[in-house]
Structure 1
Amino acid sequence: MSIEPIGLLTIIAGLLGLLLGYRAAFATLVVATLFGAAAAVLIGPANIQPAHLLLAFVAATVFTRNHERAGAIDSIRFPKPGFWLMCLVLYGVVSAILIPRFLAGDAQIIPLGASEYAATGSTVPLGPVSSNFTQSVYMIADLICFTIAVAVASTQAGFAAITGALLAYAAGNVLFALVDVVTYSSGTQWLLEFMRNAQYTLHNEEEVSGLKRIVGSFPEASAFARTTLGALGFTGTLWLCGRRPALTGVLAIASLVLVVLSTSSTGLAGTGPVLLILYATALLRSGFHPNRPYRSAAVLCAPLAVIAVVLAVLLNDAASETVRNYIDLLIFNKAGSDSGVARDAWNVYALQNFFDSYGLGVGLGTVRTSSLPFALVSNVGIPGSLFYLLFIGTAFLHGRGTPRTFPSDVRLAARNACLGLIIGDALAAPTVEQGLLFYVLAAMACAEPERTAEEPFAESSPLTGARA
């Protein structure tokens, strides 16, 4: 085992969190989820990321407080969202232990871990793999993170702290993307080596047709694009709701531009659905009201503006050719590339593994896919997929509250951010596990700080911004 330099910084941040309090510690954890290509601690081939290391400090801080500990436990009561997530995790862990052993040799799999498939490019017989253990640990960490986030967000101060941390995450994501491009262009990539030390393949120096593949602080362009779709959903919704419009508007526009220019097929294909979600949000929230003629006109004219831009591009031969080539390269020609063929094969075998396991799945972390639905049905089968859908459904429907208040607007933003991440995962996810950030956002989507707040949220505070 070795502690990396960024691990020492993480431990220092964790100790400071213990001194500053649980809200500061959890906000630090949220921002630390940015470091997707970093390893704070190396244990053989396993990587412990900074956010997961901080989770231990946060848990030590939160679970020693009676109110927050009770809130975390209450979050997993039936039929709350945490209960269904707990069911998913329990089934996943049990399936990872038992199914690869009971059905050993009964099917051919493409294993998630870097095992025989990585060396030969061929399938291997079903059996236990190292990722059964690692994915189980990650899912348990996700459950702990979700319960802590619900507990922290149950108070007015905690809810506001996590909201600020999510905005800091979006800003940091934009900043690291710009730094990634600048360091690559100037030949100073070594400046980012301290956070690119994970023991798995990093694709941070690749180009597509002369364009740098933007990875930011993540291991590859698709991972960056996926998280940026979530940031776009969160900041774009808050901007539509009139919350800190100068900040959220800039972050939303920057996220949109970066995800389109990332050269990731995941980002380019996912941008349209996320923009449609934001437009639907604008329609549902603003509608058409005689007292808001300008806002109503803007909502009506948005599709016309998009059509006008598209027509302008099509009428310009040089511009239309550039755009068409870019889209063809990243989406339409992707299926014929070596990467596209391999990813299609992963999903084909994953679907076959679903049937081979009689719908139970071959065990959490057993097989690799390139899409979340295939990851669910192949790894945790019908039971796990059902638990996941119940978790998402109850999280999105729980805690809607009074509309057009600060908590309600943030919950809506968190739901849209979750949808953005789900869209990205549906296009490229190799596993069931969706990362700590996803479960923080899911917790914010169902948090109800109004129930414990002694007074309403101050609508004029610097964080909440003016009401739209």
Structure 2
Amino acid sequence: MSIEPIGALTVLAGLICLWLGTGALVHGLAITAVLGAAAALFIGGANVLPGHLMVAFLAFGVLSRRRESVAVIKALHPNEPGFWFACLVAYGVASAILMPRVLAGVTPIIPLGTSVFEDTGSTVPLTPVSSNLTQSVHLCATLLCLLTLTAVASTRQGFTVVLSAILAYCVANLAFALIDVATYLTGTQELLSFIRNARYTLHTDSEVAGMKRIVGSYTETSVFARSTLGVFGFTGTLWLYGVQRALTGSLAAFSFVLIVLSTSSTGLVGAPIMLLLLYATALVSLVQGRAGGHAGLFAFYAPVIGLAVVLLLLLNPEATAEVRSYVDLVVLNKAESDSGVERSSWNVVSFQNFLDSWGLGVGLGTTRASSFAVALLASVGIPGALFFAIFALECFLRPRGSIGSLEADAAVAARNGYAGLLLGDLLVSPVIDQGLLFCMFAALSIAARPRRGEVRAVPPIPAGARL
């Protein structure tokens, strides 16, 4: 095991946050969760991300308090969404241990591993791989993060802290994207080497049509686009409801621009879908007779602005040709590129793994896919897919909070933010672990519930409250 400089800083920050209180721990988790290309520790060939290291500090801080410990246990009750996610994790870990051994050689796989042998991109007979362990650890860390954040958000003050922490994540995501572009243009990319030290394949200096592929603090542009789609859905919804209007409106606008300019096919496909989702949210808000916010303005002006943009493009053939060329290059021709063909082959092989395992899956972390849905079926089969579907329905689609309350608004924002993450994952994700931002969205949605004497109010969100 070896610790990197960013890991030492994470440990120091974790200790300071422990001293400051749970609010600081949640904010520390949100900031470190952005560092997707960083490795705090190396354990053999495995990377331990700063966010996962901070999860350990958060869990220690939360579980050392009786009230929060009780809330963690309650989050595992069969009536709570956390129970179903725990079932997914339990089945996933069991499948990672058993399936590659019980079904050894039954089907060819494209391994999801870290060694040179496991990362060739060619098929090998089904066998245990190193990522059976690493993906099991990651998914367990995700469950621990989900339960502890749900416990924190179970109080009114804690709910506000988690909401504030997600906004901190959104700000950090935007800041690192701007830093990424600035360092590339000035030839100072080495300044970011301390947060780009993970033993993954990094695509941080690529261009498309003369444009920098924006990666921010992640490994590649598709991962950045996926994260930013979640940020856009979350902040855009809060802006519609009038929560921290200046901040959420600015974050939503800049996020949308960065998605379009990122040159990611994931972003360009996802952006219009997220706009339609926000427009539907605005219409529902109007039907509910909601006052305040910008839902009415957005519902009226969005079609007008969209129509005006289309007309301007039609009147300017050169601009239309530029837009069409950009979309063709980034989206329409993507499937015919070497990368697109390779990713399609991963999904074909992975789906065959699902069929050859009689619907049980070949084990968590065993095979490489290029879509969350295919990875879910290939890894944990029908049982795991059912556990996840029940969790997602209970977590994000069950009505929560009183209409017009801050908690209800935040729950809808979390649902829309998660829709952005899920959309990106369905397009490119090779694994079923959806990361720490997913945990924050889920905890916010789970914890939202009507409270006695609740009135419509939007209190100022603290930068980091002690609980």
TM-score by length of 1: 0.95
Pairs within 5 Å for 1:363-374 = 363-374=363-374
Match of 1:426 in 2: 426
Match of 2:460 in 1: 462
Deviation at 1:377, TM superposition (A): 0.6
Q: Secondary structure at the match of 1:380?
A: helix
Deviation at 1:273, TM superposition (A): 1.2
Distance of 1:313 and 1:297 partners within structure 2: 24
Residues 240 and 295, structure 2, Cα contact 8 Å, conserved in 1: no
Pairs within 5 Å for 1:163-242 = 163-242=163-242
2:402 paired with 1:436: no
Match of 2:273 in 1: 273
2:351 paired with 1:361: no
- Give structure 1 stretches of 5+ with no counterpart: none
Deviation at 1:445, TM superposition (A): 1.0
Residues 405 and 454, structure 2, Cα contact 8 Å, conserved in 1: no
Match of 1:139 in 2: 139
Identity %: 53
Residues 117 and 124, structure 1, Cα contact 8 Å, conserved in 2: no
- The residue type paired with residue 189 of structure 2 is Q
- Count of aligned pairs: 462
Distance of 1:99 and 1:347 partners within structure 2: 19
Match of 1:153 in 2: 153
Residues 132 and 366, structure 1, Cα contact 8 Å, conserved in 2: yes
Distance of 2:423 and 2:290 partners within structure 1: 35
TM-score by length of 2: 0.95
Q: 1:293 to 1:340 in 2, by over 3 A?
A: closer
Deviation at 1:45, TM superposition (A): 1.5
Distance of 1:387 and 1:423 partners within structure 2: 19
Residues 77 and 83, structure 1, Cα contact 8 Å, conserved in 2: yes
Deviation at 1:186, TM superposition (A): 0.3
Match of 2:465 in 1: none
Distance of 2:22 and 2:15 partners within structure 1: 11
Distance of 2:157 and 2:450 partners within structure 1: 11
Q: 1:180 to 1:217 in 2, by over 3 A?
A: same
Match of 1:29 in 2: 29
Distance of 2:288 and 2:230 partners within structure 1: 27
Deviation at 1:314, TM superposition (A): 2.4
Residues 259 and 268, structure 1, Cα contact 8 Å, conserved in 2: yes
Q: 1:90 to 1:120 in 2, by over 3 A?
A: closer
- The residue type paired with residue 54 of structure 2 is L
Distance of 1:293 and 1:10 partners within structure 2: 38
Match of 1:382 in 2: 382
Q: Secondary structure at the match of 2:281?
A: helix
Distance of 1:8 and 1:292 partners within structure 2: 46
Deviation at 1:200, TM superposition (A): 1.1
Q: Secondary structure at the match of 2:219?
A: coil
Q: 1:236 to 1:359 in 2, by over 3 A?
A: same
- The residue type paired with residue 216 of structure 2 is G
Distance of 1:314 and 1:361 partners within structure 2: 50
Deviation at 1:337, TM superposition (A): 0.3
Q: Secondary structure at the match of 2:47?
A: strand
Match of 2:94 in 1: 94
Residues 283 and 295, structure 2, Cα contact 8 Å, conserved in 1: no
Residues 397 and 446, structure 1, Cα contact 8 Å, conserved in 2: no
Deviation at 1:254, TM superposition (A): 0.2
Distance of 1:235 and 1:268 partners within structure 2: 18
Distance of 1:297 and 1:252 partners within structure 2: 15
Q: 1:291 to 1:7 in 2, by over 3 A?
A: closer
Match of 1:403 in 2: 403
Deviation at 1:315, TM superposition (A): 2.0
Distance of 2:456 and 2:282 partners within structure 1: 23
- Give structure 2 stretches of 5+ with no counterpart: 463-467
RMSD of aligned alpha carbons: 2.0
Q: Secondary structure at the match of 2:365?
A: coil
Q: Secondary structure at the match of 2:311?
A: helix
Residues 399 and 445, structure 1, Cα contact 8 Å, conserved in 2: no
Deviation at 1:117, TM superposition (A): 6.2
